[in-house]
Amino acid sequence: MTPEVNTRQKTRHESLGLSDEQAVDMYRKMRLARMYDERALLLQRAGKINFHVSGIGQEAAQIGAAFALDKEKDYFLPYYRDYGFVLSVGMTIRELMLAIFAKAEDPNSGGRQMPGHFGCKRLRIVTGSSPVATQVPHAVGIALAAKMRNEEAVSFVTLGDGSSNQGDFHEGCNFAGVHKLPMIVMVENNQYAISVPLDKQVAGRISDRALGYGFPGVRIDGCDVLEVYRTVKEARERALRGEGPTLIEAVMYRLAPHSTSDNDMVYRSKEEVEMNWKNDALPRYKAYLMECGLWSEEEDAQLIADIKSMVDRDIAYAEQAAFPAGEEALRHVYAEEEAGTWR
């Protein structure tokens, strides 16, 4: 008798080296980021928080990328819509709530920065500034240091399509290309820079710019979480082999207005937004998991209920948490000397 041969075809995630548990976890994170975002929008409308910048429509790219990186070794420089990314590398809903309520316990900046300005040493997230694209030269410097120290690490940086027109982006990419630095740049091309559509920002493809910097540039479907995972994983392997940076242009659509201060109906139509909801990554990936027999409507309902109670609990916590003390306002702004040591 010949032994039974397993002829079952590998699923897409299995062929990428992802376990069933990891594939489901990606979906859990997508749902978590989405529900956080929806509640943040409501909190702003209710007057409980001042401001929110939404990442709705961009979660798949953020989560696919996070799963392909090494949380113990790599350095992360996310931009202000990357809730899916920071939640996937270990930030909690409670911490995000503390940030939007501007409370002292916010690990990102102790309530000083605008929401979405991530920074957390514990999670290897490097503090970012408000001027867009300034994180790119920071990522370059970190990649240079990693290379000089022979660390097995990459720096991963994200930015928007509009920000890829800034000098910081070009100068950073050029330097990283010359020195073959272990850096991955992911442009989250959500089609708009506030009110300016993509065709008024760039005449060519963003991914093609990499040609001029001397490293590969790829344009991928940013609403396909597994495709983003595959691309970032390959880019990381290239970087660790000493072959230098990769530019990834993840194409997606910003489904919410630019921020809670923006009226997007002034520069785009309701029909256009509705049409793009049809490509929402969440139902698409949920359908994939259901086809694989890894997810059910019951599990989905349970997940949504669990996230809702976590979000409710963390909002209650953040609401009652203390604001930073007035006398702390200048801490971390100027260097301080205490008992002979700089902190």
Ligand X SMILES: Cc1ncc(C[n+]2csc(CCOP(=O)(O)OP(=O)(O)O)c2C)c(N)n1
The residue within the footprint of ligand X, chosen from 41, 194, 202, 321 (CB under 6 A), is 194
The residue within the footprint of ligand X, chosen from 190, 207, 260, 276 (CB under 6 A), is 190
Amino acid at residue number 95: E
Q: Residue 101 half-sphere exposure, CB side, CA atoms within 13 Å?
A: 23
Burial class of residue 131 in the structure, from the number of CB atoms within 10 Å of its CB (0-12 exposed, 13-18 middle, 19+ buried): exposed
- Identify residues 130-149 at the interface with ligand X (CB under 6 A): 130-132
DSSP state of 112: -
Nearest distance, CB of residue 198 and ligand X, angstroms: 8
The residue within the footprint of ligand X, chosen from 160, 182, 244, 257 (CB under 6 A), is 160
Active site residue 117: no
- What is the rounded distance in angstroms from the CA atom of residue 199 to the CA atom of residue 218? 19
Q: Are 216 and 184 in contact (CB under 8 A)?
A: no
Nearer of residues 155 and 158 to ligand X, judged by Cβ? 158
- Identify residues 224-283 at the interface with ligand X (CB under 6 A): 254, 258
Nearer of residues 62 and 231 to ligand X, judged by Cβ? 62
- What is the rounded distance in angstroms from the CA atom of residue 184 to the CA atom of residue 188? 13
Nearer of residues 24 and 223 to ligand X, judged by Cβ? 223
206 C-beta neighbours (distance < 10 Å), count: 22
The residue within the footprint of ligand X, chosen from 18, 61, 89, 193 (CB under 6 A), is 193
Nearest residue to ligand X by CB is: 160
- What is the rounded distance in angstroms from the CA atom of residue 192 to the CA atom of residue 202? 11
Task: Name the one residue in this structure whose structure tokens are 């708009």.
Answer: 192
Active site residue 253: no
User: Given 267, 268, 284, 317, which residue is catalytic?
Assistant: 267
Nearer of residues 17 and 131 to ligand X, judged by Cβ? 131
Active site residue 219: no
List Cα–Cα distances, 315 to 98, 119, 157, 320, 325, in angstroms: 8, 21, 29, 9, 21
Q: Of 59-67, 100-108, 124-132, 236-244, which part binds ligand X (CB under 6 A)? A: 124-132
163 binds ligand X (CB under 6 A): yes
Instruction: Point out which residues bind ligand X (CB under 6 A).
Output: 81, 130-132, 159-163, 190, 192-194, 254, 258
Catalytic residues: 254, 258, 267
